[in-house]
Structure 1
Amino acid sequence: MSSKRVSPFAGVRYEHLVAGVSGGVASTLILHPLDLLKIRFAVSDGAASAKPHYTGLTQAVGQIFRHEGIRGLYRGVTPNVWGAGSAWGFYFLFYNTIKSWLQGGNSKVHLGPGLHMVAAAEAGVLTLVMTNPIWVVKTRLCLQYTEGASAGAAASATHYNGMVDALVKTYKYEGVRGLYKGFVPGVFGVSHGALQFMAYEEMKVQYNRYRSLPIDSKLTMVEYLAFASLSKLFAAVTTYPYQVLRARMQDQHAQYDNLRHCIKETWRLNHIVGFYRGLSPNLMRVVPATAITFVVYEKTSEFLFQFRSEDQTAASPGQD
């Protein structure tokens, strides 16, 4: 770690925000149906009759298509695009700002696994505070199983006509607490991003050292794909149970008193298997999604920084 101290805001670069948003939006539009399947499998505990029962990926896709049409596979896509775009944008912005501050502004300083995890964890908490309401809405729209709402006031409170309607109704009937349901397991889930970014950064560093190059040297698209996929696979398998708990606490069809109650009920109904429901569609989605996100991010940020450099050079032609 560099002994030089710079302002925490010195490393703020809009390029990280724009590149992160681009990567998040691109991967979400391509792979949203798998995210919907992951959520529906995660909340399927066999106890609530209002929820469809799925026996496998093929059967689930067929049942959703028959009862809800192609739109059913894209329920919740709007808040998912907003959520993924903003989350990745803020995450890369916060992470690189914190990382730059820890490095003292010198990108060739190797922080090591511990400080990489610290930077990623801090970025994760800041991002979660800003995006949790969007994830609540996305989860609830993904868990809206039919087009029509049943009769009664309770049905009107849990039937949503879109992202804005879901935000308004959640706040109206549940207040700020409703918009931040699942926040606690989400905080635990910060470990997911921390492990992922630590693994990703360390693989890049060790690979560049193996090639006898500076640790911040750029890689090829294939190398970015490989390191992003491996780091995501490692983090996803390690921390998946928190995603199940978060989805169940955000489910409008279920009522849990708190996180401990949700854990007890999940164990009572499904034992250890319950904490890994939806893992298969999740891995099918998150590994390629992360690969797409990171490649788009790396290439977009590289282009934007190059554009900034050329723009500054053009603005100062008299300087060496």
Structure 2
Amino acid sequence: MSSTSSAAPEAPGGPPPLRSPPDKVSPAGHIVQVLGHVRLESLAAGLSGGVVSTMLLHPLDLVKLRFAVSDGLELRPKYNGIWHCMKSVWQLEGMRGLYQGVTPNIWGAGASWGLYFFFYNAIKAYISEGRQTELSATEHLVSAAQSGMLTLTLTNPIWVTKTRLVLQYSSDPSTKQYKGMCDALVKIYRHEGVAGLYRGYVPGLFGTSHGALQFMAYEELKRGYNKYNSMPSDKKLTPLEYISMAALSKIFAVSTTYPYQVVRARLQDQHNTYNGAIDVIRRTWRNEGARGFYKGVVPNVIRVTPACCITFVVYENVSRFLMGQSK
């Protein structure tokens, strides 16, 4: 008998065959394996959802940011509520004022949602490879957190420019510090360097918990709903069902993590200077109390809940359409 025959399985009841230990995979190897699961359909579907929701709801994002940084500086306009803010901006600058900063917002939201779904689905597919069981809630949470970190690293400069453009209060274009997205990017880099483009990055990393909690809740709601109705886990739901699950998951995530958005917005604001996230937290608590960390939360919930619903419905439908076309 040849020497290779010794590796053949024993007769039933005998000892199990010896197996070679699995090869160790380097971190670079893991990245290559993850990239093997990427789908451009996820990128395109997520980008579509982000762009559509941002175009429809940008004015509420502007209101949320202006409330989030309202720390009592005299140069800032004073607003009595959401509608008073929108009315004041409209009277001062018209529709253009309500869409101040929309270009980086569209770029940022489109890129963020596209990259988020792109990385998230690739990481999920990598973890699921060769498994018969569904991912647990913890695995969904970790996958979403990793996706958020990668996405934030690529998109943080866009969010800094959006914040700066939204917080230009003058109606006279000649007195504004930035003329547009590209001008803001160039000026921030020229005067503040790479550090300026990555202001708010650290609280943004904490903010990846927002997306992680949202995606975990969304996946668990879908799975629980399908299980309750004895349906396959990948069954297509109705738009109303997607909207309900997206809204519930978003409200849960916002209510849990909103204070980091206030800290991040204040770090990115050109009208005030802080010595880091801890300084923002200390000064906000001293001057405004716990309430200061929730400024702008109402317009944020009003904005992000429908934005999330629109994004997820567009994503699910565009994704299924593109995947159907690619088969």
Q: TM-score, normalised by structure 1?
A: 0.90
In structure 2, distance between residues paired with 1:58 and 1:83 = 25
Please, which of 154, 164, 174 is the counterpart of residue 140 of structure 1?
A: 164
Matched, 1:173 2:191: yes
In structure 2, distance between residues paired with 1:207 and 1:85 = 29
Please, which of 111, 118, 122 is the counterpart of residue 97 of structure 1?
A: 122
> Where does residue 318 of structure 1 map in the other structure?
none
Matched, 1:43 2:69: yes
> Gaps spanning 5+ residues in structure 2: where?
1-24
In structure 2, distance between residues paired with 1:242 and 1:182 = 9
Matched, 1:206 2:224: yes
> Gaps spanning 5+ residues in structure 1: where?
152-157, 310-320
In structure 2, distance between residues paired with 1:109 and 1:131 = 34
Matched, 1:121 2:145: yes
- 1:118-168 superposed Cα distances (whole Å, 9 cap, x missing partner): 0000000000000000000000000011143788xxxxxx70000000000
> Where does residue 315 of structure 2 map in the other structure?
297
Matched, 1:245 2:271: no
- Report the residue type matching 1:16 in the other structure: S
2:173 touches 2:179 (CA, 8 Å); kept in 1?
no
Instruction: Give the Å deviation of 1:70.
Output: 1.6
> Where does residue 26 of structure 1 map in the other structure?
52
> Where does residue 101 of structure 2 map in the other structure?
76
In structure 2, distance between residues paired with 1:9 and 1:20 = 17
Instruction: Give the Å deviation of 1:105.
Output: 6.0
Please, which of 92, 96, 101 is the counterpart of residue 67 of structure 1?
A: 92
2:92 touches 2:171 (CA, 8 Å); kept in 1?
no
In structure 2, distance between residues paired with 1:57 and 1:149 = 24
> Where does residue 82 of structure 2 map in the other structure?
57
2:64 touches 2:300 (CA, 8 Å); kept in 1?
yes
In structure 2, distance between residues paired with 1:191 and 1:200 = 14
> Where does residue 17 of structure 1 map in the other structure?
43
- Report the residue type matching 2:150 in the other structure: L
Deviation >4 Å, runs of 4+: none
- Report the residue type matching 2:316 in the other structure: E
Instruction: Give the Å deviation of 1:65.
Output: 1.4
- Report the residue type matching 1:57 in the other structure: I
What fraction of aligned residue pairs are identical, expressed as a percent?
56
Q: Structure 1 residues 174, 221: closer, same or farther in 2, change over 3 A?
A: same
- Report the residue type matching 1:51 in the other structure: R
2:65 touches 2:166 (CA, 8 Å); kept in 1?
yes
Rg comparison, structure with higher value: 2
- Report the residue type matching 1:21 in the other structure: L
Instruction: Give the Å deviation of 1:244.
Output: 0.5
Matched, 1:281 2:306: no
In structure 2, distance between residues paired with 1:67 and 1:184 = 35
Q: TM-score, normalised by structure 2?
A: 0.88
1:11 touches 1:105 (CA, 8 Å); kept in 2?
no
Query: What is the correspondence of 1:154-173 to structure 2 with a 5 Å cutoff?
Result: 159-173=177-191
> Where does residue 186 of structure 1 map in the other structure?
204
Q: What's the RMSD between the two structures over aligned residues?
A: 1.7
How many equivalent pairs are there?
298
